[in-house]
């Protein structure tokens, strides 16, 4: 078991992590299905991301012979990743996931788990190398970051050329500290091409690192148009027998 090391991080990030750790572990132990969930399933990921299959196909398509690496930020218990693996959606893609405390994670042999947050993508065992990640996925894991500028700097560091980021944050109407409006300017300042799908409850952001092989708008729309078919492959209530 491992827990995020935060003693040398800025004070506001340490406070953010302490709150998140308390919330995550309490939610995991209570199997909480209320406003905050630490164990979202694959159906929920497809729903909130408004599709993911075309995103994964793009990542697989631009990978080298060494294989693509996909990074799941704040993935919780690994339930969703394990379901995508079982469904064959992640074939040919290496899996890395982050969590603040590995105690809450399932044992999934195909997934390397790091105890860290998005502000610093490393733990006591290793750091994610520069430009080694082709795709990054986050579902509500980054919306309360105290330093989104540090998060984007780290994502930019590990993301390979033409790599993509897809993330979900609560819409500003439901989030007192704001939703996508905190992130879009930072992505563009870091020279990433950005597209946004605004919703009543949550927003989806897709960013592409140059050189751009497909526009962020195009890739976002490809999944959006096929989301209904994608959802049919998974049970909305979690595991199926």
Over the chain (241 residues), the average pLDDT of each successive run of 10 is 76 78 61 58 95 96 80 90 95 91 80 90 87 95 87 95 95 64 93 94 95 97 96 72 33
Q: For helices 42-49 and 79-86, what crossing angle results, to 10°?
A: 100
pLDDT at residue number 22:
67
Q: What pTM was estimated for this model as a whole?
A: 0.88
Residue 108 · residue 82 · CB < 8 Å: yes
**Strand blocks (E) in 66-219:** 68-73, 93-99, 111-115, 133-139, 159-170, 193-197, 202-208
The side-by-side arrangement of strands in the sheet containing 111-115 is 111-115, 93-99, 68-73, 133-139, 159-170, 202-208, 193-197
pLDDT at residue number 240:
42
What ranges in the chain are assigned the alpha helix state H? 11-30, 42-49, 53-61, 79-86, 148-158, 184-189, 216-231
pLDDT at residue number 135:
97
Contacts of 9 (CB under 8 A, 6+ apart): 17, 119, 120
Contacts of 143 (CB under 8 A, 6+ apart): 169, 170, 175, 179
pLDDT at residue number 28:
54
Judging by DSSP bridges, how do beta strands 159-170 and 133-139 pair with one another? parallel
Domains of the chain in sequence order = 11-231 (3.40.50.150)
pLDDT at residue number 115:
87
pLDDT at residue number 239:
46
């Amino acid at each position: 078991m491992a827990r995020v090391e935060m003693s040398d991080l800025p004070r506001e990030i340490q406070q953010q992590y302490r709150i998140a750790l308390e919330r995550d572990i309490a939610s995991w132990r209570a199997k909480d299905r209320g406003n905050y969930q630490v164990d979202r399933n694959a159906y929920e990921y497809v729903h909130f991301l408004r599709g993911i299959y075309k995103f994964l196909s793009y990542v697989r398509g631009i990978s080298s012979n060494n294989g693509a690496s996909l990074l799941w930020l704040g993935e919780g218990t690994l339930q969703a990743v394990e379901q995508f693996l079982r469904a064959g959606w992640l074939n040919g893609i290496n899996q890395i996931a982050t969590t603040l405390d590995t105690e809450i994670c399932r044992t999934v042999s195909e997934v390397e788990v790091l105890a860290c947050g998005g502000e610093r993508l490393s733990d006591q065992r290793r750091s994610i190398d520069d430009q080694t990640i082709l795709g990054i996925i986050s579902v509500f894991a980054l919306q309360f970051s105290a330093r989104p500028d540090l998060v984007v700097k780290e994502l930019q560091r590990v993301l390979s050329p033409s790599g993509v980021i897809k993330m979900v944050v609560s819409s500003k109407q439901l989030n007192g500290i704001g939703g996508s409006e905190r992130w879009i300017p930072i992505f563009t300042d870091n020279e990433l091409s950005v597209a946004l799908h605004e919703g009543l409850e949550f927003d989806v952001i897709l960013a592409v690192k140059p050189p751009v092989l497909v526009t962020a708008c195009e890739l976002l729309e490809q999944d959006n148009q096929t989301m209904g078919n994608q959802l049919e492959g998974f049970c909305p209530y979690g595991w199926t027998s």
